[in-house]
Each structure stands twice: as C-alpha cells, then as structure tokens.
Amino acid sequence: MFGVAWIWMGYIERTNAIPAHGYTYTEALVGEPQFINPILLGLNDTNRDIASLVYSGLMKYNENGNVVPDLAERYEISEDGMSYTFFLRTDAEWHDGEKVTVDDVMFTFSAILNPEYGSPQRASLQEIKAEKIDNYTIRLTIPHPYAQFLERMTNGIVPKHVWENINPKNISLAEANLMPIGSGPYRFVKFAKDKYGRIVSLSLAANQRSYNGTPFIAAIDFFFYQTNEDALQAYKQKKVMGVSGIESQQKGELEKYGAHVYAMNVPKYFAVFFNQTSNKALADKNVRIALTHATDAMAITRDVFDGNATTIDSPVLPWFMGYNPDVKKYAPSIETAQALLEESGWKDRDADGIREKTIGKDKEATPLAITLITSDLPDLIYTGELLKAQWEAVGARVTFETYTIDELKQQVIKQRGYEALLFGEALSQLPDPYLFWHSSQRRDPGLNLALYNNKDADALLETMRESLSADERTASVGKFQEILAEDVPAIFLYSPHYLYAVSNDVKNIITTHINTPARRFTAIEAWYIATTRVNKEQ
C-alpha cells in the first residue's frame, strides 16, 4: 500500500490537472419552458436560460459584461453612426448541419418586426432597416445614432429553413419552440413530461459543430420545479449540481452542502424616488439632503442582504463606463441631518417628535410628513422599515405602505401617485440613463420616476445616447452624475448581487457581470468538471 501511495504522490507532483471533456451538469430551474425561441422570448427566465445556450446572436456579452462579436466576425459603423455592417463568420452552422447565412439574420429581424408574430422584441428593434449585401454581409440602418445599438444585437438568430414555412399566427404552436435548433454551444436532445403533461426535465448536449470549440461539459440536464424551495431541496438532496437566483439568507446554508456561491453584478439598482410635486416638504432641497444624510445604505445592505449587495450613490453603477467616484457624497449622519433641518427652519416646536415649517403664505405649519410606498416583496418591505426608522430618527413622520407589484405599477406608478417611492430600475450593460432621467420621460409610459427636470442633464443624456465617441460619452456620464448629486431627486441605495450556487465540482465559472439571469452561462464553453493530468514543463 505504501508503494502505491508513493507512486501516486510522485505522479501528482510531476503533473498538472487540466480541463477535459466529459460529465453532465445538472441544474434546478423554477418554472417550465414554453417558447425557447428568440423571436418570442419575454420575461420567462426558464425560456431565456435555455435559449442562451442554444442560440447565438450577431454579438454577445463576455464574462466582464462587454459586448463582443459572436456570429458576426467583425462589424463596421458608418461615420454618422446610423449604419452598421456586420460580416458573418463563414464557419458557423446550425445544429442540424445547415450553414448560418445572412438569410437567417434577415428572416429573424423580419419576423421580430412583423406584428403577426407578436414578438416582445419588436418595440426595441422596430426602427431597424436590414439590407443583404451578400450571403455573409448585412447592413442594418437606424434613423438616429444610438450608442447602445450593439447591445440589441445580442438577440438570438433563428434558422430560416426551420421557421419560414410556419404561419406566423401559429408560431406559438410550433414544435420547434420546445425542440429548438440553434447555433449556440449546446444543442437540444430531449425533454420529459410527467403524467399531467408538465415538462419536468430537458436535456442538452455539447455542440460538436460549435465555432468556438466544443464545450468541456458534455451535457446539461435541467430539472423544473414549481417553487424556489423545491429547487433548493433538489440541491440539498444532490439531485442537481446548481440552483440560481438564491436569496442572501440561503447562501451560508448552501455552502454547507458543498456549493460555491457566485455573486454576480447586475445592472439594476434600488432607490427612493421623490415626487416633489406631491409633497411640499420634499420640494425643499434641504429636506431631501437631510433625508439622504439620515439614510444608512451600508446598514441596509448588511441587514437586508447580509452584505450581498453593492451600496451606490448614483444611477451609474461603479463598474459602468464613466462612473464618477468623485461626485458629491452625503455621508450617513443623524447629527448632520438634524442640524441641516434646524438651520433651514424645520423645527419641532410642539415637542411631538415631528418637525414642521411654515412655507410661503401658508397659515399653518407644514409637517415633515412623508408617505413611503413600495411593493410587498420581502426585501423591499425590510428596506422600507429600516428607512422609516432612519428618517423618523431625524424628526420625520413616515407612513409606510406596500402594494402588490401589479397594484404598484397600475394604481401608483402609472399615475405618479406617490410622495416617496422605493423601487428598482433595470439598466442595460452599456449605461443609457435617458429612459429614467430625461425630462421627456416624466409621464407614463416614461420611466422618470423622480419626475426629474434639468435642461443641462437632458443635454448630457442625449449625448450619452447618440455620441459615437467613447470619450465624449464618458465625460457626459460623469457630468450627469455631478448634476444629479447636486439636485438630489432621489436617494440611491444598493445594487443587489445575483447569487448563483454551483457545486464545487464545477470549475472555471468566471463571469462577474450579467444583465439577465440567463447571462450566468456566459463563457460556459470554458466550464469543466472532468480533468486529466499532463506532465509539468521542466
């Protein structure tokens, strides 16, 4: 026995372990696939997860969140920024062996733009005009420069020969929605149903034809569960090797079961948006500044997310291009907040714990009273309760109300019927704050929840969206943050991390930035389970 052990130890010392092809990765998903089809992809994360592995776009995100070529080998942008010419790879094939050509790209965009297909992508791509130059070259034209256009090109491309003979009105019934043929790193193999007709599992195999090389992991099996708790139990019982989108409170428990929990940055942030038109106190800039000083975002991320979130001070997140770390900061300080309110005339004259101030020609003093509204999601309820306590500590009366997410959107946000709104905004990887902060977006369906109106900020937002100069966009992003910090239309709180628990047996998951849960599979070709050993270089 000792001899065998010495031989093995010597072998280990003389060799290095390197990735090898083989093994199957298994993951629990909540929900059930319905349309694994880039034309029909909506908000169903299960559809998106599988589609991200099966399909490829002209462009893709890399592990750092940057947009890089995929089916397109390269691209050229016209001087006016309104024409993009994409040169396709000539070695890309569909999973059935057919070549990927411009005809497939043309068909995909025409289908998305055809209202009969009912594509959720139509709104964001409807101004595109496509022109075939040759079998591997396509020119896309847009009516005005748009710096974030390449992000739109990460949408998956579908094979024309599979879909062209299917009536658009019947697309939701097509077999290919659940048995997809793409050009991505994994190909569809099979799915299984239970006795009630519900899909309970779906299998993929490594694409041997992949132009990026065959992935190391030979197969992926997804198992579908109805609740998050069911998915977690499947991991604990070793039925699967991974589970995504876990809560912060579950991280430590899953680590005890052999999971490595990856914390990925997502372009989403939460803030309190002030509606200054509906509350006289909030129309006072000194009140908004004082409330910002009273807010301890670090304590919120610690208590609500157990540290699994990044505290922020602007809608431009720290990892975004142009992030300005030197903008004005309002450090948490009860004393500073109280002093500022005193100096600006907000005093507790009747010793009831609530400050008030006589404003303008008002005969009666206006109380420092705020109604804070959010959704009934647990994390937001906890955040709201902490904010209520922090603001009341400086002399505000805070009424805290929660609604279901549908009630919040339809009855409150749509009408801008709030004073202070605790809510989240999801961005693109390349920052385009226009939709959330330009004055033209103050009313529904615009997303300017703070009803922010600043002409200088508007000009900078337009430059960020239209300029093709990276330097000019970066400078505009920085200046925009400075103006926003000065005006204090909102209190920026945190950007929660996306937590992905995977068995320690799975190696080389290197993605750090994602814009949707499906992007956790970015660079999956490099993941591996199997290893082999090679001699060390002398």
**Residue 478 burial by CB count (10 A; 0-12/13-18/19+): exposed, middle or buried?**
middle
The model's confidence at residue 10, banded by pLDDT at 50, 70 and 90, is: low
**CATH code, domain with 213:** 3.40.190.10
Instruction: For residues 28 and 155, state if they share a domain.
Output: yes
Residue written as token pair 């079961």: 257
Cα 13 vs. chain centroid, distance in angstroms?
Answer: 43
Q: Quickly count: other Cβ atoms within 10 Å of residue 90's Cβ.
A: 12
Asked, for residue 1, whether it belongs to a domain, the answer is no
User: Could you report the per-residue pLDDT of 298-319, keeping only the tens digit for each?
Assistant: 999 999 999 999 999 999 999 8
Q: What is the C-alpha separation between 110 and 115, in angstroms, rounded?
A: 10
DSSP conformational letter for 439? G
**CATH code, domain with 485:** 3.10.105.10
Residue type, position 116, single letter: E
pLDDT higher than threshold 90 for residue 87 = yes
Instruction: For residues 529 and 451, state if they share a domain.
Output: no
Q: What is the C-alpha separation between 317 and 312, in angstroms, rounded?
A: 7
Instruction: For residues 273 and 141, state if they share a domain.
Output: no
Give the highest mean pLDDT range of 172-176, 371-375, 408-412: 371-375
User: Could you report the per-residue pLDDT of 169-197, keeping only the tens digit for each?
Assistant: 889 899 999 999 999 999 999 999 999 99
The structure tokens listed for 448 are 């300017």
Q: What are phi and psi of 177, to 5 degrees?
A: -65, -30
The model's confidence at residue 3, banded by pLDDT at 50, 70 and 90, is: low
Asked, for residue 11, whether it belongs to a domain, the answer is no
- Please name the residue ranges forming H helices in 393-448: 405-407, 434-437
Instruction: For residues 419 and 329, state if they share a domain.
Output: yes
Asked, for residue 13, whether it belongs to a domain, the answer is no
DSSP string, 478-493: HHHHHHHHHH--EEEE
Instruction: For residues 402 and 515, state if they share a domain.
Output: no
pLDDT higher than threshold 50 for residue 496 = yes
Q: What is the C-alpha separation between 239 and 108, in angstroms, rounded?
A: 37
Question: Looking at the 3D structure of the chain, how many domains does it have?
Answer: 2
State whether residue 139 is helix, strand or coil: strand
Q: Give strand pairing partners of 190.
A: 203
Percentage of the chain modeled with pLDDT above 70: 97
> Taking the CA atoms of the chain, what radius of gyration do you get in angstroms?
26
Predicted local confidence at residue 12, as pLDDT: 62
Give the residue, 103 or 427, on which the prediction is more confident.
103
Q: What is the C-alpha separation between 98 and 92, in angstroms, rounded?
A: 9
Q: What is the C-alpha separation between 181 and 468, in angstroms, rounded?
A: 36
User: Could you report the per-residue pLDDT of 19-52, keeping only the tens digit for each?
Assistant: 999 999 999 999 999 999 999 988 789 999 999 9
State whether residue 335 is helix, strand or coil: helix
Residue type, position 473, single letter: R
Instruction: For residues 287 and 198, state if they share a domain.
Output: no
Average pLDDT estimate for 272-300: 97
DSSP conformational letter for 348? -
Asked, for residue 178, whether it belongs to a domain, the answer is yes
Predicted local confidence at residue 538, as pLDDT: 47
Q: What average pLDDT does the chain have?
A: 93
Residue written as token pair 């000539």: 90
Instruction: For residues 314 and 405, state if they share a domain.
Output: yes
The structure tokens listed for 376 are 């009934």
Residue closest to 220 by CA, chosen among 48, 22, 509, 515: 22
Q: Give strand pairing partners of 490.
A: 273
pLDDT higher than threshold 70 for residue 7 = no
Angle (CA) 135 174 516, round 5° = 75
Cα 16 vs. chain centroid, distance in angstroms?
Answer: 37
Average pLDDT estimate for 270-297: 97
Q: Quickly count: other Cβ atoms within 10 Å of residue 388's Cβ.
A: 17
- Please name the residue ranges forming H helices in 118-249: 122-125, 149-152, 160-163, 228-236
Find the Cα–Cα–Cα–Cα dihedral 27, 33, 39, 42, rounded to 10°: -90
Instruction: For residues 345 and 473, state if they share a domain.
Output: yes
Cα 447 vs. chain centroid, distance in angstroms?
Answer: 17
Residue written as token pair 């005006």: 487
What is the domain range of residue 411?
Answer: 268-496
Asked, for residue 529, whether it belongs to a domain, the answer is yes
Average pLDDT estimate for 280-284: 96
The model's confidence at residue 321, banded by pLDDT at 50, 70 and 90, is: confident
Q: Quickly count: other Cβ atoms within 10 Å of residue 89's Cβ.
A: 18
Instruction: For residues 207 and 309, state if they share a domain.
Output: no
Instruction: For residues 227 and 292, state if they share a domain.
Output: no
DSSP string, 87-102: EE-SS-B-TTSPBP-H
Q: What is the C-alpha separation between 178 and 199, in angstroms, rounded?
A: 10
The model's confidence at residue 408, banded by pLDDT at 50, 70 and 90, is: very high
The structure tokens listed for 529 are 């389970």
pLDDT higher than threshold 70 for residue 11 = no
Instruction: For residues 64 and 39, state if they share a domain.
Output: yes
**Ranges 111-115, 212-216, 301-305, 425-429: which has the least confidence:** 425-429
Residue type, position 355, single letter: R
Instruction: For residues 366 and 385, state if they share a domain.
Output: yes
Average pLDDT estimate for 465-476: 89
Find the Cα–Cα–Cα–Cα dihedral 312, 443, 123, 269, rounded to 10°: 10
Q: What is the C-alpha separation between 384 and 400, in angstroms, rounded?
A: 7
